[in-house]
Amino acid sequence: MFKHQMSKNTEFVKFDKVDKSYDGKVLVVKDLNLNISEGEFITMLGPSGSGKTTCLMMLAGFETPTNGEIYLDSNPISNIPPHKRGIGMVFQNYALFPHMTVYENLAFPLRVRKVQKDEIDKKVDKALSMVSLSGFESRMPAQLSGGQQQRVAVARALVFDPAVVLMDEPLGALDKNLRESMQYEIKHIHENIGVTVVYVTHDQGEALTMSNRIAVFNDGKVQQLSSPDKLYEEPVNSFVAEFIGENNTFGGEVTDISKDVCKVKLQNGEILANPISVNSKGDKTTVSIRPERALINPKDKMDNNQTGKIEEVIYHGDHTRVRLDLLGNKEFILKVPNSSNELDLKLGNEIKVGWNSQDARALDPK
């Protein structure tokens, strides 16, 4: 019922040179070019004011682009009203009708579309079973937990077989454990039915867990559009490196460069790095290293070998977080698996740390 049978369209949703300004002066979205494949789960991720929610609202039809056009399945939609776009929406506050039962909430978008009564019953049953709420038809929203209400909201967005489902911070009001279980639930629903999902969040963990691809927004522009693993392992600039996951940084200047390695002079030393955003000697750079890429007392020889002083040790269950003073950076973080019992992680101790040059990305200066 919910699967789209047509062949996959790699430009199912297309933002073509889209700008958006609310006051005619400041652009909150700038020259956005973005293609979303049919059946894809794409997340728009970024801090408040980065333009991600505005993009979602333009796709939904609640905002109009100042310039450019948005296409859905090759058709321009900027002049089509929201209720005629065939788009489902899930909001943070659920937006369920409090005076209607679960059945009536799900039936509403079908009645608006003049679906027959027996067909409505079938579609509501199907949608409720998909979110594991069969038998809840006669409950009122106030009789449901927050997680159940959110599942009803997801079912209502899917019940009329939309071309695209938009989700705007849908799990923001839930507590941590429930939020995490709902992430997997929505991910599995998407995998089972294959509908195109455009998801907005400022929670990087949520984006990494759920998405096929993530568009990282800042200042109205997409900074990087990649799969979750590529985004984390291969950030293209300092903003993405800082915004996604924990990150150690050193500011410095390139003193030597070849094809795949550069030498960077820091205030308190020198390191070798992977030249991502630098081209020549004298370039200023911020070098980014993920905490888990730096090893304590490495057994094998590494490109960068340094000594740091332990400033803080915090136990996290499966790992210990160690903060070092290393090469003048007093906030250098290591993540040590708690199976490494032989390490002497006491405050004030000096320890050897190593990492490979390919894991140290020389990016644009901050």
pLDDT in tens, 286-317: 999 999 999 998 888 899 999 999 999 998 88
Bridging pattern class, strands 164-168 and 196-201: parallel
Cβ burial of 240 (10 Å; 0-12, 13-18, 19+) is buried
Predicted local distance difference test score (pLDDT) of residue 341: 63
Q: What is the pLDDT of residue 2?
A: 41
> 175-214: per-residue pLDDT in tens?
888 888 889 989 999 998 899 999 999 999 999 999 999 9
Question: What is the model's pTM?
Answer: 0.90
Q: How many helices (H) and strands (E) does the chain have?
A: 8, 20
Thinking of the domain 246-363, which architecture would CATH place it in? Beta Barrel (2.40)
For residue 344, report the phi and psi dihedrals to the nearest 5 degrees.
Answer: -100, 90
Question: What is the per-residue pLDDT for 340?
Answer: 62
Both tokens of 208, joined, read 């990494």
Q: Among 197, 211, 194, 213, which Cα is nearest to 6's?
A: 194
Q: What pLDDT is recorded for position 128?
A: 93
CATH no. for 13-238? 3.40.50.300
Asked whether 212 and 41 are in contact (CB, 8 A), the reply is: yes
Place of tokens 């509908």: 195
**Phi and psi dihedrals of 61, rounded to 5?**
105, 5
Domain locations in the chain as residue ranges: 13-238, 246-363
* Alpha carbon distance 182, 175 (integer Å): 10
Residue 5, pLDDT score:
44
pLDDT at res. 58: 96
Burial 127-141 (b: 16+ CB within 10 A, else e): bbebbebeebbebeb
Cβ-defined contacts of 274-281 (< 8 Å, 24+): 274/357, 274/358, 274/359, 274/360, 274/361, 274/362, 275/362, 276/236, 276/361, 276/362, 276/363, 277/236, 277/237, 277/362, 277/363, 277/364, 278/254, 278/362, 280/254, 281/254, 281/255, 281/256, 281/257
Which is nearest to 286 in space by CA: 333, 251, 241, 261? 251
Instruction: Identify the pLDDT of residue 342.
Output: 61
Q: Which helix (H) or strand (E) holds 99?
A: none
Positions in the chain whose pLDDT score sits under 50: 1-6
Common-topology check for domains 13-238 and 246-363 = no
DSSP 14-32: EEEEEEEESSSS-EEEEEE
**Terminal CA-CA length for the chain:** 50
